[in-house]
Structure 1
Amino acid sequence: MYKGKTHQEYHAEWYKKNKEKVAEKGKEKYELKKDEILAKNAENRKKDDYKEQRKEYDKKYNQTDNGKKTNKLKRWRAMGVKDDLDAWYDKWLNATNCEDCDCELTNGQYLKTKRCLDHDHKTGLVRGIVCSACNNKRG
């Protein structure tokens, strides 16, 4: 049934192929229960501990792979990046060397070898995955 793939690999591949269908189904389900969902959300926001619960939830979510990806894509959109963000995120995640100087890329803040998505500030088009030092040189 899975053609030599694990259950997870099969479904991840299926999801990529059917991403638009899945999104459309989600929108349809939301439309059916929209009033109920909005009323429940409004009621929850009135609770005294809502803000604290929300902060705690966000903190946990931001530590997950999906949370990290969501935050990274939000920052890239805010910078004006217009390319296919999902594809660039996968490439960014798997990049091991700078495309400019070929140094080994690392994760973390304030490092010269930190992995960066280099983009043109005027057009928003991505130029490549480079280290922080090369990204600063390019401007």
Structure 2
Amino acid sequence: MNSQNEFQYLKATKSNIALRQNNNNNNNNNRTKRRKNQFFRQNNPAKKQLEIATTTFEEKKEENNFINIHIPGKRRMKPSEIRKQLAFVGIDNIQVLDTYCPDWDTVLILIHEKYKDTAEKKLVQAGIFTKEYNYLHISHLRDSKLAGL
């Protein structure tokens, strides 16, 4: 048996080697062409994009004022539970900066003053009315030692 005939499939012909080299060269050329033709940063913004970019770097024209809205509550709740109930009422959670319970029967909502009218309107539509709450009132002081102050 001739050893050359047995392993003919392992021999690489000159044409196979040439095809492989051409394929490798083509792949490398394609990669370099893509790199040259890619634009990572385009300096042709749309008119709206340009307006947004310029307003980002302007000075503040107005002050941000935030207000507290106090509403009645049956018990103390976690902020996540308060936010869930406010979402059912229709108040947008993005507009609510903070929520907590300063007292057993009171829920506090911290919002921007521009959103105050909308929030109060939605609360009234749901049958929830705001209430006045004074942190320093004697009824909120639970320690009898502080009652004389």
Q: Which TM class, normalised by the smaller chain length?
A: under 0.3
Q: Higher strand proportion, which one?
A: 2
Q: Higher helix proportion, which one?
A: 1
Greater relative contact order structure (CA < 8 Å, 6+ sep): 2
Q: TM (normalized to structure 1)?
A: 0.21
Q: TM (normalized to structure 2)?
A: 0.20
Larger radius of gyration: 2
